[in-house]
Structure 1
Amino acid sequence: MKEDKYDVIVVGAGIGGLVTAAYLARAGFKVLVVEKNGQPGGYCTTFNRRGFLFDTTIHAIQNCEEGSILHKIFFELDLQSDINLIRPNPTDTIITSSKRIDVVHDIEKTTMSFQKAYPRDSLAIQKFFTIISKNEFIRIYSKFRKKTFAEVLNTYFLEKELRLIFAMFLGNIGSLPENTSAITAFALLKKFIVSGGYYPKGGMQTIPDSIVAMFEKKGGKIILKTEVKQIIISRGKVCGVECSNGRLIKSKYVVANVDIKQAFTKLLKVENESEAFSKRLDSMQPTYSIYILYVLLKKSFKDLL
């Protein structure tokens, strides 16, 4: 049974875990990342079939403009030359049985595209896009703070199909309109529709791969295909992890880049947990499952439209 020791162990090589590990390694800590899957990246991964690349989950990212959080991370981790972000236009194309709507980098053109597809709701569409595109948070908050997104959609739009299209964007966070506040939905739609998305040249896998390369360059180590069985606690302090293969790895600190319920019910064996915390943990519900279909086409997408 092999035993190692690190300053910090990061459980899970999703983007959050990798960025945390990269910053720690950059600061001089001895860091190990342990990932149960065969490739790093979590939702931000890519696989190859017959020479075609498929992104497993994430198909666009936001907050990449200069001054944004991702721009700052890429700059501080010196990833600008490794991650080449492009901005597809349109960002999204919505196709129904009889309509096509392009979401482009021009809010007026996007608005007109929706209005052309749903003329009965033309005025409501204009008002709706005005709400999500303008920086009038205080006025919007006071008016919509107690409303769900479902209530807003039902109030504004006559066309059921249009309501479903706007609700579809919440799939990016695994939520439904009736369970999402209007304010949260407006913020998301502003990012998805108004700001648009960015895409890394070469596929989403280039992002985690670039972070891993920088992390290893700074002395970090990553182990794949290894699942952490539990976080070890001794005398009230974290002291490492035990892997499912029996390997014990010691550390001063552990970062659990997993969901909170898994961290506290599976990885941590905490004694004398407060009743209030237990109730809060039990009340947390996972997001909804999403089915994704990956399709290979004989013709280019443009030729099929």
Structure 2
Amino acid sequence: MNYDVIIVGGGIAGLTSAAFLSKDGYKVLVCEKEEKVGGLVNSFNYKGFTFDGGIRAIENSGIVFPMLRQLGLEIDFIKNNVSIGIENEIIQLTSKASLVDYQHLLNHQFPDNTDDIQKIINELKRVMTYMDVLYGIDNPLFLDLKKDRAYLLKTVIPWMFKYFVTIKKIVKLDTPVYEYLEHFSKNPALIDMIGQHFFKNTPAFFALSYFSLYLDYQYPKGGTGAMIESMKTLLLDYKGEIRTQTEICKLNPQLKQIEDLNKNKFNYKKLIWASDLKKLYTIMDLESIEDATVKQKVLDQKNAVSNKIGGDSIFTLYLTLDLDKSFLKNLFSAHLFYTPSKKGLLTINLNDLKAKLSESGDANYISDKEAIFKWLRKYYELTTYEISCPVMRDANLAPKNQTGLIVSTLLDYSLVKHIFNMGWYEEFKRFSQECIITVLDATLLKGFKNKIIDQFSSTPLTLEKKTGNSQGAITGWAFTNAIIPVVSSLPDVGKSIDTPHPDIFQAGQWSFSPSGLPISVLTGKLAADAVKKQLK
């Protein structure tokens, strides 16, 4: 079977590429290993409750909405208000003015550090001005500037000058956020309250910019998966093809051919890899490449990615409650980042559970189950939770007078993998669920425990299996890698889609760092444009 373009990976990046290519008349095939497309952007139904299985909301960032408009997709979005809470105090972020409320929250929790907090707030304000420039207009990549010369001259070109000046300032904020915040405070608990929301070694700009991004969050009516369904329908309307439950296991770049686990073979003119990069180089037949220079470059990139690890993953608890949403509305908004204790995670250390950690992240863990579970109990008491309530946004997402709740926290993949290998996995899941419920019942949601109807969970291993992402990563490469094996500078994002092979492009969270949904959309569009340029 022959195609102009084959896209491996049916997440948001792959679907973006496929939608634009099929809309322009190219014969496109999307191969997705799971039962449905969407990847980390998906919703599912459980006994009448709609849950989001990946991201909890959509950040526009001047990218997502222009992409949808350019494709002609009309999706109803609901403003996704975000709250932040520490112990018994919760504030809602409604505008830039909410930064004052955030400062008061920190001052109440850390009255001896008001000067430090003022300095940190000043940094947040500075980063917010950068964000105003960065996402100040719709990304020009999704605009037809040939038809609107006035907009190009009056808006885009002046913006570009501001953009390049701002980018130079942003580049200077690539220090890990914990290290950066230590310039302003020596109180580790205060630093934790700001920094433990984020992944290990998250660059300061990426972390501090989230105050602006929270104000930009939107929620598709019907759940995050509603956006995916619209893109899927458009793709099929334009005669694009989607093959689910189709895992690609072989790639012959010389023949321009891929093969799935069922021995089906598909030929392409151009290939867009929108999946885990390690898999790309694992299945690629290097010996088939006749050009020695290309072959060596491919081998070099294979070696570059092979020993790198994916970013942090999460443990997610799904709860159905015999509780009306009004009970929660009185406490917080539909999207909350909540820390039950201001003691902070720096008071415990995962390395205390490990000897020298091996590359596999397993062999040198201690085998004492009691010690590991004791550490986990403490971790769940101190960590920060992302709590999402779909029915508070859309009344159709739960049965009447009942509520579905999604509770997530960062959790180390290697620890969960070790627990699995030791045979404690199911016990670990039950233990984690009960720990989280106990913490929330004693703090944020006093007395809600007896209102629980059902509970179930997913772990980093679940995400690894469902997405194919190394270490169950939710945002591509870990910041702890000494060298990131892809483009990691915003001015060079246009190069992020290139691979060493001229007929193969890459897109998605593994193609650029740091990444998220907007970057996945952006790289998906860049890859589609590059393919169209070559095929023309």
Smaller-chain TM-score range? 0.7 to 0.9
User: Which deviations, in whole Å up to 9, do the C-alpha atoms of 1:98-131 show, x marking residues without a partner?
Assistant: 22232x2212224324413533335235323322
The change in CA–CA distance for 1:183 and 1:125 in structure 2 (over 3 A counts) is closer
1:13 correspondence with 2:10:
yes
| Contact residue 4 and residue 28 of structure 2 kept, 8 A | yes
Q: Which residue does the alignment assign to 1:281?
A: 305
Distance 2:246 2:278 in 1: 20
Please list, as runs of the form range in 1=range in 2, the aligned pairs for 1:166-185 lying within 5 A after superposition: 166-170=194-198, 175-176=199-200, 179-185=201-207
Q: Which residue does the alignment assign to 2:76?
A: 84
Q: Which residue does the alignment assign to 1:206?
A: 226
User: Which deviations, in whole Å up to 9, do the C-alpha atoms of 1:185-206 show, x marking residues without a partner?
Assistant: 33x425423x430110100111
Query: How much does 1:160 deviate?
Result: 4.4
Please list, as runs of the form range in 1=range in 2, the aligned pairs for 1:215-294 lying within 5 A after superposition: 215-233=235-253, 236-238=254-256, 240-265=257-282, 267-271=283-287, 272-274=295-297, 276-294=300-318
| Contact residue 278 and residue 302 of structure 2 kept, 8 A | no
1:97 correspondence with 2:87:
yes
Q: Which residue does the alignment assign to 1:106?
A: 95
| Contact residue 230 and residue 242 of structure 1 kept, 8 A | yes
1:192 correspondence with 2:213:
yes
Q: Which TM-score applies when normalising by structure 2?
A: 0.49
| % identical equivalent positions | 26
Query: How much does 1:243 deviate?
Result: 0.9
Query: How much does 1:151 deviate?
Result: 1.6
Q: Which residue does the alignment assign to 1:295?
A: 319
Where do 5+ consecutive residues of structure 2 fail to align? Answer: 131-164, 288-294, 332-536
The change in CA–CA distance for 1:165 and 1:41 in structure 2 (over 3 A counts) is farther
| Contact residue 132 and residue 190 of structure 1 kept, 8 A | no
Where do 5+ consecutive residues of structure 1 fail to align? Answer: none
Counterpart among 44, 50, 54 of residue 53 in structure 1: 50
Distance 1:92 1:164 in 2: 19
Distance 2:42 2:167 in 1: 38
The change in CA–CA distance for 1:148 and 1:216 in structure 2 (over 3 A counts) is same
- Report the aligned-residue RMSD: 2.5
Counterpart among 60, 64, 73 of residue 70 in structure 1: 64
Query: How much does 1:158 deviate?
Result: 5.9
Distance 2:249 2:170 in 1: 44
Distance 1:285 1:212 in 2: 31
> How many residue pairs align between the two structures?
281
Counterpart among 102, 116, 140 of residue 105 in structure 2: 116
User: Which deviations, in whole Å up to 9, do the C-alpha atoms of 1:46-101 show, x marking residues without a partner?
Assistant: 1111211110121112125xxx222221111111x2x111212xx22233432223
Query: How much does 1:215 deviate?
Result: 0.6
Distance 1:146 1:232 in 2: 38
Query: How much does 1:184 deviate?
Result: 3.0
Query: How much does 1:5 deviate?
Result: 1.9
SS at match of 2:84: strand
Counterpart among 122, 135, 149 of residue 127 in structure 1: 122
Distance 1:51 1:163 in 2: 41
Amino acid at match of 2:126: I
Distance 2:250 2:308 in 1: 21
Amino acid at match of 2:204: A
Distance 2:190 2:94 in 1: 20
Distance 2:192 2:10 in 1: 34
1:29 correspondence with 2:26:
yes
Query: How much does 1:276 deviate?
Result: 4.0
Query: How much does 1:256 deviate?
Result: 1.3
Distance 2:66 2:216 in 1: 19
The change in CA–CA distance for 1:116 and 1:72 in structure 2 (over 3 A counts) is closer
SS at match of 1:147: coil
Distance 2:180 2:271 in 1: 43
Query: How much does 1:149 deviate?
Result: 0.8
Distance 1:74 1:139 in 2: 30
Amino acid at match of 1:124: K
SS at match of 2:217: coil
The farther-off stretch of 145-154 and 117-126 is 117-126
The farther-off stretch of 279-288 and 35-44 is 279-288
| Contact residue 41 and residue 228 of structure 2 kept, 8 A | yes
The change in CA–CA distance for 1:41 and 1:191 in structure 2 (over 3 A counts) is farther
Q: Which residue does the alignment assign to 2:176?
A: 148
The change in CA–CA distance for 1:295 and 1:70 in structure 2 (over 3 A counts) is same
| Contact residue 120 and residue 181 of structure 2 kept, 8 A | no
Distance 1:45 1:290 in 2: 16
SS at match of 1:18: helix
Distance 2:25 2:66 in 1: 20
Q: Which has the higher contact order (CA 8 A, sep 6+)?
A: 1
| Contact residue 14 and residue 42 of structure 1 kept, 8 A | yes
User: Which deviations, in whole Å up to 9, do the C-alpha atoms of 1:214-262 show, x marking residues without a partner?
Assistant: 11111111111221112233xx352x22111121122222211112222
